[in-house]
Amino acid sequence: EPEVTQTPSHQVTQMGQEVILRCVPISNHLYFYWYRQILGQKVEFLVSFYNNEISEKSEIFDDQFSVERPDGSNFTLKIRSTKLEDSAMYFCASSAGGPDTQYFGPGTRLTVL
Amino acid sequence: AQSVTQLDSHVSVSEGTPVLLRCNYSSSYSPSLFWYVQHPNKGLQLLLKYTSAATLVKGINGFEAEFKKSETSFHLTKPSAHMSDAAEYFCVVTASGYALNFGKGTSLLVTP
Count Cα atoms within 13 angstroms, Cβ side, for B17: 11
One-letter identity of residue A13: T
Q: What is the pLDDT of residues A81-92, one digit of tens each?
A: 999 999 999 999
Question: Do B100 and A45 lie within an 8 Å CB cutoff?
Answer: yes
Task: Look up the domain containing B32 and give its range.
Answer: 3-8+16-96
Given B34, B98, B102, which is nearest A98 (Cβ)?
B98
Residue B59's pLDDT band, with cuts at 50, 70 and 90, is very high
Q: Is residue B106 part of a domain?
A: no
Q: Is residue B42 part of a domain?
A: yes
One-letter identity of residue A107: G
**B60 φ, ψ to 5°?**
-80, 160
Q: What is the pLDDT of residues A9-35, one digit of tens each?
A: 999 999 999 999 999 999 989 999 999
Q: Is residue B90 part of a domain?
A: yes
Model pLDDT, residue B98: 84
Q: Is residue B81 part of a domain?
A: yes
Give yes or no for B32 touching A (CB within 8 A): yes
Task: Look up the domain containing A47 and give its range.
Answer: 5-112
Q: Is residue B49 part of a domain?
A: yes
Q: How far apart are CA B62 and CA B49, in angstroms?
A: 14
Q: What is the pLDDT of residues B28-43, one digit of tens each?
A: 777 889 999 998 877 8
Q: Is residue B50 part of a domain?
A: yes
**Chain A residues within an 8 Å CB radius of B29:** none
Please count the structural domains in chain A.
1
**Chain A residues within an 8 Å CB radius of B51:** 99
DSSP code, position A72 = S
Please count the structural domains in chain B.
1
The share of chain A scoring above pLDDT 70, in percent, equals 100
**Chain B residues within an 8 Å CB radius of A31:** 98
Q: Is residue B105 part of a domain?
A: no
Q: What is the CATH number of the domain that holds A73?
A: 2.60.40.10
One-letter identity of residue B17: T
